[in-house]
Amino acid sequence: MSKPFGEETRGTTNPNRLRRVDRWIAWWCAHALTSAPDPLVIDLGYGATPVTAIELRDRLAAVRPDVRVVGLEISPERVADAQPFADPPRLEFLRGGFELAGLRPVVVRALNVLRQYDESAVPDAWRTMTSALAPGGWLIEGTCDELGRVCTWGALRAGEQTPVSLTLSAKLSTLESPAVFAERLPKALIHHNVPGEPVHTLLSNLDAAWRYAAPYNAFGPRQRWLATIRSAGMTTLDGPQRWRLGEVTFRWPS
Ligand SMILES: C[S@@+](CC[C@H](N)C(=O)[O-])C[C@H]1O[C@@H](n2cnc3c(N)ncnc32)[C@H](O)[C@@H]1O
């Protein structure tokens, strides 16, 4: 096999860190998962322990009981360390990079992987992963804090090179303001959060709406978040059912 495409980076991970993105994948990718002839999902770059790959398998099994998750790591040591947790064929750990080890998954989750690369590496990584997806598949690529309380991610369709959507998701009881998403934006956006750029406009509108919605705090942070999204006046790709979970999904700001 040719050398995996990418570079080894820090392996920081935590149990339950990716619960928000997993819950969203179970919703957004439900059709892709249920209609896939082979329900193969890749967790790319699972890190120092395979805990989030195990959780991904368990969560997606609620949507597609025969889902198979393959955790891919570029670090051979991390692949070896994960073997005791393998449960083939439903859960396997292999060495691989952005080329996806020659597999053809219906969903790829790559969280906190590109964050440690230069921004210039993103287009090639996206292109390589989306061209390896099964038809109708999705690449979910993003970033979160260490405990998974502030998360953002983009979704790209198979064969495409620009994300369709940007999702922001947070634990509302600890959210100080939507401005905190700025530190956790996907690599492709994080350096563009400057006046005049669409992502800056998006976060500024949301932040202004959050301040305007301050009186709703009396009814709890969820009500404030709902009022924020409504009053921000921006088109979303989801609705109140998702907003209630502390999420919102916009068209990708490009
Ligand atoms: C910070 S950890 C993220 C762990 C987990 N995804 C999470 O969010 O908690 C990043 C991991 O991605 C791996 N990695 C980096 N580039 C990779 C690539 N191109 N292919 C596979 N793994 C990669 C690193 O070796 C590291 O273990």
Q: Whose CA is nearest to atom 22 of ligand 1?
A: 45
Query: Does the pLDDT of residue 148 top 70, yes or no?
Result: yes
CB count within 10 Å of CB 23 equals 15
Residue whose structure tokens are 């990708």 = 252
| 210 Cα distance to chain centroid | 24
**Domain boundaries in the chain?**
19-163, 172-251
Residue 1 has a pLDDT of 55
Which amino acid residue places its CA nearest to atom 20 of ligand 1? 97
- Lowest pLDDT segment from 6-15, 52-61, 122-131, 152-161: 6-15
Distance 45 CA to ligand 1 centre (A): 3
Mean pLDDT for the stretch of residues 37-48: 98
Q: What is the dihedral of CA 133, 111, 126, 34, to 10 degrees?
A: 20
Nearest CA to ligand 1 atom 13: 45
Read off the pLDDT of each residue in 137-148 and give the average, rounded to a whole number. 98
Q: Which of 2, 5, 9, 146 to mutate to test the pocket of ligand 1 (most atoms within 8 A of CB)?
A: 9
From 20, 74, 95, give the residue whose CB has the most ligand 1 atoms within 8 Å, as the site to mutate: 74
**Strands 91-95, 68-73: pairing kind:** parallel
- In total, the chain counts a number of residues equal to 254
What is the distance between the alpha carbons of residues 198 and 253, in angstroms, rounded to a whole number?
A: 5
Q: Which helix (H) or strand (E) covers residue 207, if one does? A: helix 198-212
CA of 22 to the centre of ligand 1 (A): 16
pLDDT attached to residue 167: 98
pLDDT at position 2 = 77
Where does 19-163 sit in CATH, by number? 3.40.50.150
Rounded Cα gap, residues 231 and 18, in angstroms = 29
Are the CB atoms for 171 and 151 separated by under 8 Å? Answer: no
Give the separation between CA 49 and CA 240, rounded to whole angstroms. 35
Ligand 1 center to residue 160 CA distance, Å? 22
In this structure, the residue with its CA closest to atom 12 of ligand 1 is 45
Ligand 1 binding residues, C-beta < 6 A: 4, 6-13, 17-18, 44-47, 52, 72-75, 78, 97-98, 111-113
For residue 159, name the pLDDT band (cuts at 50, 70, 90). Answer: very high
Mean pLDDT over 170-184 rounds to 97
Give pLDDT tens digits for 52-66: 999 999 999 999 999
- Cβ-in-10-Å burial (0-12, 13-18, 19+) of 37 comes to exposed
Give the CA distances from residue 119 to residues 4, 108, 135, in Å, rounded to whole numbers and listed in that order: 19, 20, 27
3-state DSSP of 128-142: HHHHHCCCCCEEEEE
User: 243 CA to middle of ligand 1, Å?
Assistant: 29
State the burial class of residue 214 (Cβ atoms within 10 Å of its Cβ: 0-12, 13-18, 19+): exposed
- Provide the mean pLDDT of the chain: 97
Query: How do residues 79-130 score in pLDDT, each as one tens digit?
Result: 999 999 999 999 999 999 999 999 999 999 999 999 999 999 999 999 999 9
Query: For residues 7 and 74, is the Cβ–Cβ distance under 8 A?
Result: yes
CB proximity list for 62: less than 8 A, separation 6 or greater: 26
- pLDDT tier at 251 (50, 70, 90 boundaries)? very high
Q: Give the E-state strand segments of the chain in sequence order.
A: 40-44, 68-73, 91-95, 107-111, 138-144, 150-157, 165-170, 247-251
